[in-house]
Chain A
Amino acid sequence: MLSSVDPNPVVCECEGVTRAEVRDGIEQAGSDLNAVRLRTRASMGNCQGGFCTHRIASELAQEYPEPVVRDAEDELFQERWKGQRHALWGRQLSQAMLNRMLHATTMNRDGDLASIDADVDFGAFDAGETPAGGSDVGGSPTGVTATDGGRDGDR
């Protein structure tokens, strides 16, 4: 079963856990990523899950719907946070801050509109200097529609 996963990149670099191993864990444990973590050691290394909780969750996406994947990712991130607080100084504190910067600053997981209660007026935000239709690349792309020539395109 493991050899059938292709490509098979490493998902958790600290513990050297591959996609096939994570998928095998999911097959046995379902969408509870904490159980997958305990089976595979994925997210248990030096980075405390900072670089891989989202990658592990992404492996759920083939079988599970969007809200399940999102909740599973957020739960695993919180679970790994619990695991590092008892020694939160020195390198571990720096790592915690780096993980916070990656997940909150770069990914904005804490401010995800899908998860927080916010009523957003998209029109109040910057829509670009040349909104809808304009583009700075490749001349004026016209878009691809269902009627523009089918799947072979110009290739």
Chain B
Amino acid sequence: MAIDSDVLVVGGGLAGITAAISAAREGAHVRLVSHKASTLAQASGLIDALGYVPPTEPSKPLREGPPTAGRNLDRDEWPDPDGPLADPYDAIASLPADHPYRLVGGDALREGLALFDELTGAAYHGGHTDQNALVPTFGGSLKPTARYPTSAKAGLASDDRSTLIVGFRSLTEYDARALAGRLDAGGVPFEVAGAEVEFAEAFRADTKITRIAKALDRDEPIEGTPAREALAAAVKPHLTDAIDQGDVGRVDRVGFPAFLGDDESTAVRAELADRLGAAVFEIPMGPPSLPGLRLEDLLYDALADAGVSFETGMPVVGYETDEDGSIDHLLIDRKGTEVPYGAESIVLATGGLVGKGLDSDREGVTEPVLDLHVPQPSERYEWFVDDAYGEQPYARFGVAADERLRPLDQDGEVSHDNVRVAGAVLGGADVAREKSASGVSLATGLVAGREAAMEV
């Protein structure tokens, strides 16, 4: 027996959730299915829109022939990106013509961010202005981003408060002094120092930051002292040390790795700020990312509030088309049984190469759910270039679409009338260099969901 809905969204990441809520707000009955956990837990929790326009001309070749074994890499020979951009909207016109932002337009980005603001409420900031914020990353760089969680709010680089970055000797992700040194070398308009602190030693070696966050949530005793108090006590001497050593004149704010609690993060930050006598902020980290996990929780709540039925652990294993090429239903594997899921329209938001919405083997790159066309160079040596951070063709792989986000076949014709494509499975963007991953998901998710609801 088929399970029917108006709109069926495949994929439970930022694009899929946005599309589902966008369609539900148009009055459609929406069902969302996902195969595996989304990549949100790996995401920093920052919501980038557009931070740079990277150069698309190829880097100067290091030598003749295929770029397989370049040596003596000289960074000075590589072109710099345009940016960091204060205004993400202005630069959309200078992106390549097949970029998702060029397809759906700057207004879709604006609406996508407005929807995000509404869904996340007081948990996120940045919606008061069109301008990007510069947020310190754990790589010691400043990242232009459109929205940031409350926990990162006190760390903005355009705020000139004197800053101490703390790192922990048993954590390996960054060295606080090196991080502070990079911020300084980047010309930040505030004094900054770094200090390595002993605290996480109280946990067994190689403790995950999620474990430390739990201890702070519950204020578990650490050698007899409640965790939040113990952490403040470990950090506090370094504030005065940084001043005594002449690194900074004062400490107005203290940056921590993003492990300051999960469910109780607001209370944890408040207690630390109170005990330290300085504002406290988190530096977004790599996986497992607490800010990413907190965002995932918020968005799943919003999905439920919007009345979307949501099922996970359900891979799509097949599909049936009508005579006109539109999709009649998907076949979904529910615990070993293939169940048809029918819908008037389908949103494909399955992710890119990381989320497995795109698959590849030595023959080529494919879209595995609906077998959509993925434009690509025929020769595999043309998938990549010498500079790891350069204009990598593989980074722009994905499905091509029209302005209504319908997928295009190899002749540039719409292949399925009732399908819309959103997020990282779309091609044409280099979201990593552009700092545009979340914005592309929000803008295309919003349009795909609205469009899908119009088919009903």
Residues of A bordering B, CB below 8 Å: 7-11, 19, 51, 54-55, 57-62, 65-67, 69-70, 74-75, 77-78, 81-82, 85-86, 88-90, 93-94, 96-98, 100-118, 120-129, 131-133, 135-139, 141-146, 148, 150-151, 153-155
Q: In the complex, are the beta carbons of B269 and A137 less than 8 A apart?
A: yes
Are A118 and B83 within 8 A (Cβ)? yes
Query: How many of chain B's residues have a CB under 8 angstroms from any CB in A?
Result: 116
Could you say which of A94, A113, A124, A137 contacts B353, with CB atoms under 8 Å apart? Answer: A94
Assess A142 versus B80: contact at CB under 8 Å? Given A105-B44, A113-B187. no
What residues of A have a CB within 8 angstroms of the CB of B51 in the complex?
Answer: 108, 111
A143 and B170 contact, CB distance less than 8 A: no
- Asked whether B139 lies within 8 Å of A74 as measured between CB atoms, the reply is no
Within 8 Å of chain A (Cβ to Cβ): is B63? no
Interface of B toward A, CB cutoff 8 Å:
42-44, 48, 51-52, 67-70, 73, 75, 80-81, 83-84, 86, 125-126, 128-129, 131-134, 137-144, 150, 153-154, 156-162, 169-175, 177-178, 181-182, 184-189, 201, 205-206, 232-233, 236-237, 239-241, 243-244, 249-253, 266, 269-280, 284-287, 352-354, 356, 359-362, 380, 383-384, 387-389, 392, 394-395, 431-433, 435, 437
Q: A105-B48, A137-B154, A143-B277 are in contact. Are A9 and B252 (CB under 8 A)?
A: no
A70 contact set on B, CB distance < 8 A: 140, 178, 182, 185
Give the CA-CA distance A102 to B353 in the complex, in Å. Answer: 14
A118 to B187, CA, bound (A): 10
Inter-chain CA distance A108–B300, complex, in Å, is 28
- Pairwise interchain contact B173-A137, C-beta atoms closer than 8 A: no
In the complex, how many angstroms separate the beta carbon of B40 from the nearest chain A beta carbon?
12
B86 and A124 contacting across the interface, CB-CB below 8 Å:
yes
Q: How far is the CB of B364 from chain A (nearest CB, A)?
A: 8
**With A94-B356, A127-B158: A148-B277 Cβ-Cβ less than 8 Å:** yes
Interface centre among A78, A117, A142, by most B CB within 10 Å?
Answer: A78
Contacts of B160 in A (CB 8 A): 132
B172 touches A19 (CB 8 A): yes
Please judge, given known A-B contacts A9-B170, A144-B277, whether A106 and B356 are in contact too, CB under 8 Å.
Answer: no
* Contact partners of B269 in chain A: CB under 8 A: 137-138
Q: How far is the CB of B83 from chain A (nearest CB, A)?
A: 7
Min C-beta distance of B317 to chain A, whole Å: 20
Measured CA separation A153–B277 after assembly (Å): 9
Chain A residues with CB under 8 A of B161: 132-133, 143
B394 proximity list for chain A (CB < 8 A): 88, 93, 96-97
A111: contacting residue among B81, B158, B187, CB under 8 A: B81
Give which listed residue, B86, B185, B249, B253, contacts A114 with CB less than 8 A. Answer: B185
Choose one: B182, B279, B352; the contact of A66 (CB below 8 Å).
B182
Known A-B contacts A7-B205, A66-B182, A108-B139; the reply to A136 vs B154 at CB < 8 A is yes
Q: Please name 23 pairs of A and B residues whose Cβ atoms are closer than 8 Å in the assembled complex, sorted by A.
A: A7-B169, A8-B205, A58-B172, A58-B178, A66-B182, A70-B178, A74-B75, A88-B384, A89-B361, A93-B360, A94-B356, A97-B352, A111-B81, A112-B139, A114-B185, A120-B134, A127-B156, A129-B125, A137-B270, A138-B272, A141-B252, A144-B251, A151-B237
The residue on B at minimum CB distance from A150 is B240
Contacts of B352 in A (CB 8 A): 97
Given contacts A93-B353, A124-B86, A151-B237, is CB(A129)–CB(B277) below 8 Å?
Answer: no
Which residues of A sit under 8 angstroms from B360, Cβ to Cβ? Answer: 89-90, 93-94
Q: Known contacts A66-B181, A89-B362, A110-B433; decide if A125 and B353 are in contact (CB<8 Å).
A: no
- In order of increasing CB-CB distance, the 8 nearest A-B pairs are A107-B139, A138-B273, A66-B181, A113-B186, A81-B388, A61-B175, A114-B185, A104-B432
User: Which residues of chain B are near A78, meaning CB under 8 Å?
Assistant: 73, 387-388
B361, A90: Cβ atoms closer than 8 Å:
yes
Q: A126-B132, A137-B270, A154-B275 are in contact. Are A107 and B159 (CB under 8 A)?
A: no
Which residue in chain B gives the minimum CB-CB distance to A111?
B52
Contacts of A59 in B (CB 8 A): 175
A100 to B232, CA, bound (A): 35
**Nearest-neighbor residue (CB-CB) of A146 within chain B:** B243
* Given A113-B187, A126-B158, A135-B279, residue A106 in contact with residue B284 (CB < 8 A): yes
The residue in chain A whose Cβ has the minimal distance to the Cβ of B185 is: A114
Which one of B240, B266, B362 lies within 8 Å of A151 (CB-CB)?
A: B240
Q: Given A90-B361, A117-B80, A138-B274, are A112 and B158 neighbors across the interface (CB < 8 Å)?
A: no
Q: How far is the CA of A66 from the CA of B179 in the complex (A)?
A: 8
Nearest chain A CB to B244 CB, angstrom units: 7
User: Are A54 and B80 in contact, with the CB atoms below 8 A?
Assistant: no
Beta-carbon contact of B68 and A86 below 8 Å = yes
Give A142 Cβ to nearest chain B Cβ, in Å. 6
